[in-house]
Amino acid sequence: MPCIAAFAGADLTAGIVSECRDSEKYTLLIDLGTNAELALFNSKQLLVSSAAAGPAFEGAGIKQGMAAIPGAISSFELLGGFGRIKTIGNEVPVGICGSGLIDVVAELLNNNMIDETGLLKTGPSYEIYDDVSVYAEDIREIQLAKAAIASAIDILIVTAGLKESGIERVLISGGFGSFINARNAAGIGLIPHELHKRTAAAGNTCLTGAILCSANPDKMALAEKIAATANYVDLAGSAEFAQRYVDNIMF
């Protein structure tokens, strides 16, 4: 599969192939990982970019973080002061993955246990389940990651000459995206609040696109066209991105 740019690889190309359609309505595809890759496109325009989000959403750099595999806490809710969790595979919790982290941070914000600066008011940690906690340092890692992604989204929307209302759907791909709660993602500032009702998990768009290209020469030709014609928006050294990044760190 062809790459678009150094930090927008073949996985993003495949993802765009899997979700490309003949429509003037815009799709925002977000492939979350250590290097978050984003594409904003319709039938006439394709903008792509990438942001160094760090590995927080993949569970790395988080004290009890883990990938989205069995035993990972993938969902969290506070009801009457008591936590309710879900784990992947309904197994005993052994850690927390990216979607669970988003839920925890959102719920603690909603219940005034984290302030807008990211200060964890409960002390150095908050216990989610027996022997599984989120730590103040974890909150900071989430802030840095979400600020990078939110700022990249902002820049793509501005570059396309759009407003949030001009985007019909937001798709979050990958294993992490399969479990994400869009309302909570918007609640922590990862995606624009206006878009959360138009946000959905897209699954493994990289694999889907690769299968399509393997089976259909027309899809492979489309992949080549995408890689050759995409407008890559380079955020490295961008003063506007740097300013938005600082602004978006706050909750």
The pLDDT tens digits of the residues spanning 95-139 come to 999 899 999 999 999 999 999 999 999 999 999 999 999 999 999
Q: Which residue has the higher pLDDT, 174 or 101?
A: 101
Dihedral of CA 169/175/180/186: which sign?
A: negative
Average pLDDT, the chain: 93
- Mean pLDDT on 208-213: 97
Q: pLDDT tens across 232-246, in order?
A: 999 988 999 999 999
Backbone angles phi, psi at 247, to 5 degrees: -65, -35
Output the pLDDT for position 176: 62
Tokens matching residue 100? 């669970």
Q: Where are the domains of the chain?
A: 26-202+230-251
Task: For residue 127, list its beta bridge partners.
Answer: 133
Average pLDDT over residues 215-232: 97
Q: Order of strands across the sheet with 199-203?
A: 199-203, 167-173, 26-31, 35-41, 46-52, 231-232
Please give the helix or strand (H or E) that residue 40 lies within, else none.
strand 35-41
Cβ-based neighbours of 241, under 8 Å, separated by 6 or more = 151, 152, 155, 235
- For the whole model, what pTM was predicted? 0.92
The Cα–Cα gap between 129 and 208 comes to 35
| Three state DSSP letters for 51-90 | EECCCHHHCCCCCCECCCCCCEEEEEEEECCEEEEEEHHH
pLDDT in tens, 46-99: 999 999 877 788 777 899 999 889 999 999 999 988 999 999 999 999 999 989
Rounded to 10 degrees, the C-alpha dihedral 104/105/109/115 comes to: 140
List the structure tokens of 39.
């594409």
For 90, counting Cβ atoms within 10 Å of its Cβ (0-12 exposed, 13-18 middle, 19+ buried), the class is exposed
Amino acid sitting at position 155: I
pLDDT at 177 over 70: no
Question: Has residue 178 got a pLDDT over 80?
Answer: no
215 pLDDT above the threshold of 80: yes
